[in-house]
Amino acid sequence: MKSPKELSIEKKILEQLTPGSPSWKLAESLVNDPEIQYMQEYANTVSILRLGYNDHGPVHMRTVTRNAVLMMRLLHEGGIQTSIEAEKTGNHEESLCAVILAAFLHDLGMAMGRVDHELNSVSLAKPLIDRVLKEVFPENMEKRVVISSVALEGIFGHMATHRINSVEAGVILIADGCDMEKGRARIPLVLNSEPRAGDIHKYSASSIEKVRIEKGESNPIRISVEMSSEVGFFQIEEVLLPKVNMSPVKKHIELFAGLSGQEMKKYL
């Protein structure tokens, strides 16, 4: 059974899409797919209970999808073409489909463990992508091939450990890095009382109060991170910024971070 948080984020995702469009049909199919739901839930069980990491399950993957869809809209409104558009292999709507697939499935590989989970996610996601795309584009194999390839690049590259080149995959990198608000670290902090290597990730994430993705002043996208403690700067400098620096979308980003009630520091 889905949590109220999952249902709320699903609603926000669908509200950002045009009803009846390919991207809307795709998103609706993903959120209503029981196999995908079970796979996301088990990935989270392994992440939190076995490995002691933060949320990598249904809420996280929906949050990244919401972030990615918003960023795609801001880029589109700013006149930025996606790679699929620039290469004339499809349109913005098909790029959006690729981004939604990558965001919604990118952490399935956590079910097998943390190491190389992005590669395992590619293996687990491929048959799901093929199945869902056949529902949305039943008569067009070429579109399915293009969208699937770009989606898999987004999954493959979301850890910033492998160079990616498309705008779409670059959106996934940053959308994933932006899911750092304190709720994501709440459960592992409660479950793990003994000090262990890697705790800085959980404690720094617990200080992040709000991440806003909005229209920028000089660039299409402005990301603002508000925190309650300076330990939150670890999340910016060691988690988000490396992903932004690896992303082809970097040149379209403004990045600010700071303590609540104080002037924001400009990173980009």
pLDDT, position 55? 83
pLDDT, position 192? 52
Closest Cα to residue 105, out of 196, 185, 40? Answer: 40
pLDDT, position 188? 47
Task: Express each pLDDT in 202-229 by its tens digit.
Answer: 667 788 999 999 999 999 999 999 999 9
pLDDT, position 77? 98
Task: Express each pLDDT in 57-79 by its tens digit.
Answer: 999 999 999 999 999 999 999 99
pLDDT, position 1? 84
pLDDT, position 189? 45
Residue 126: exposure state from Cβ atoms within 10 A (0-12, 13-18, ≥19): middle
CATH class of the region 4-262: mainly alpha
- In this structure, is the dihedral angle defined by the CA atoms of residues 24, 240, 227 and 5, taken in order, positive or negative? positive
Q: For tokens 């700071």, what's the residue?
A: 258
Query: What residue ranges of the chain have pLDDT lower than 50?
Result: 186-191, 197-198
Residue partners of 143: CB distance under 8 A and separation at least 6:
90, 94, 133, 137
